[in-house]
Amino acid sequence: MGRKLKIGVACGGTGGHIFPGLATANELASRGHEVTLWLAGKDIEHESVKGWNGEIITIPAEGFQFGFSFRSVQTVYRLLKAYRLALSKMKANPPDVVLAMGSYASFGPIKAAGKLNIPYVLHEANLLPGRAVSMLAGKADTIAVSFEKTSYYLKHANIVRTGMPLRKDIQDASARPRIPRAEGGPMRIMIMGGSRGAQVLNEVLPRSLALVAETGVQLEVIHIAGLQDTESIAAVYEKACIKAEVQHFIQHMEEVYLNTDLAICRSGAATCAELAAFGVPALLIPYPHAVRDHQMGNARILQDSGAADVVDQQDISTTWLRDYLIRVSEKPGRLERMATAMKKRGQSDAAQQLANLIEKVGGE
C-alpha cells in the first residue's frame, strides 16, 4: 500500500447509497486510510452506520426538484446551504480524495471538493445515470459504474466498471454454492418489494401463488413485505396451504438467497447486484415511478443476458402470474440456465475494485 490517505465518502440519503458507500469505506479503512463518512441527516442513516468507528460529518440535504415552484426554490436554497457548510468543513480538514455514491447528498461535498481542487470519484449504481451524477460528472476525475453500458449515457473520458459494492456479509456468503432444490421438493420463491414494500407485489402475488397451488404445484415462500401489513398476506398463504414465511424485514438476506429457486422483486441496483452475486434467477417487476425509469433499464440488462424475466407492472395480473409460475415450475432446466447467466453477471469484489480506484486517484 502507498501512503495513508484522507478520504471522504459521501453516501447519505437512501440505503441504496449508504450500504455500498459504507462497504467501500470499510474496505478503505481496513487498508489503513483515514475515512470520513459524509451523510445527509436522514433517519435511515443512523441505523445503517451503526458500528462505523470513523468520523461522520452530517450535511443536511434535500432531493432535487424540477420546474418552478416554492418547493424548488427552497431546494435550491438548501443545496446552496449544504455546499457552503461542506466547503467550510472541507477547508478545515481537506481530504486527499472524495468518493460520492450519487443522490442529492453528494451535491454539497462534491461541489466543495471541486471548489478546493480536491479530486473526486462518482459512483453510478444504475444503468441510467441519476440527476446528481449527471450534474456533477463534468469535473470528476473518474466515474465508476455498476453496468458497463452506463458509459453510453455519460460523456466522460474516464469511466471504469467496478460493479456495485456489497456488504461484507453478503459478499462473503455469495462465494458459497446455492442450496439446490430437493428432488420432488417445493419450488422456493422469494418475494421482495424493497424496504418500504410494494403494494402490488403484496396484493397480487399471494393470490397468484394460491392459484398455482390449486393446480398441485408445491411451493415454499419467503415474502418480505416491508412496512406493509403481514397478517393479511400470511392469511392468504395459510388458506392455500402454502408453507410461507412473511416478514417485514429479514436481517440475514444471504441465507434467503442461498435457498431461493426464483426471486420475484423490484430491480433496484442493489437488488440486481445481490441477485447476480448469488446467481438467483428472477422475475423482475420494475418500480414504474423510479426516476428516469432506471429500474426498467437495470432489469432489461439482466433480461438481455438471460438471467431474468421482466414484466411491466401494468401488465401483471393474478392469472398472468399463475400461468408464468406454472410454466417455470415445469421447466427447472430453464431456471438453472438463468441462474448460470445471473451468476456470470456477479461482481462480488466491487468494494475492493472501487477502493483500488480511490487509492489510485488519491495517490496521483
Q: How far is CA 57 from the centre of its chain?
A: 23
Check the annotation: does 195 bind a ligand: yes
DSSP single-letter state for residue 2:
-
What is the three-state SS of 311-359?
CCHHHCCHHHHHHHHHHHHHCHHHHHHHHHHHHHCCCCCHHHHHHHHHH
Per the annotation, does 126 bind a ligand? yes
Can you spell out the DSSP letters for 257-325?
HHT-SEEEE---HHHHHHHHHHT--EEE---TTSGGGHHHHHHHHHHHTTSEEE--GGG--HHHHHHHH
Cα-Cα-Cα-Cα dihedral sign, residues 26, 175, 252, 165: positive
For 100, which DSSP code? E
Question: How many other CB atoms are there within 10 angstroms of residue 70's CB atom?
Answer: 8
Q: Which long-range contacts (CB under 8 A, 24 or more apart) does 330-335 make?
A: 332/181, 335/261, 335/262, 335/281
Q: Are 276 and 282 in contact (CB under 8 A)?
A: no
The span from the CA of 225 to the CA of 192, in Å, is 7
250 is in an annotated binding site: yes
**285 appears as a binding residue in the annotation:** no
The answer to whether the annotation marks 176 as part of a ligand binding site is: no
Give binding residues for UDP-N-acetyl-alpha-D-glucosamine as ranges.
14-16, 126, 167, 195, 250, 295
Binding residues: 14-16, 126, 167, 195, 250, 295
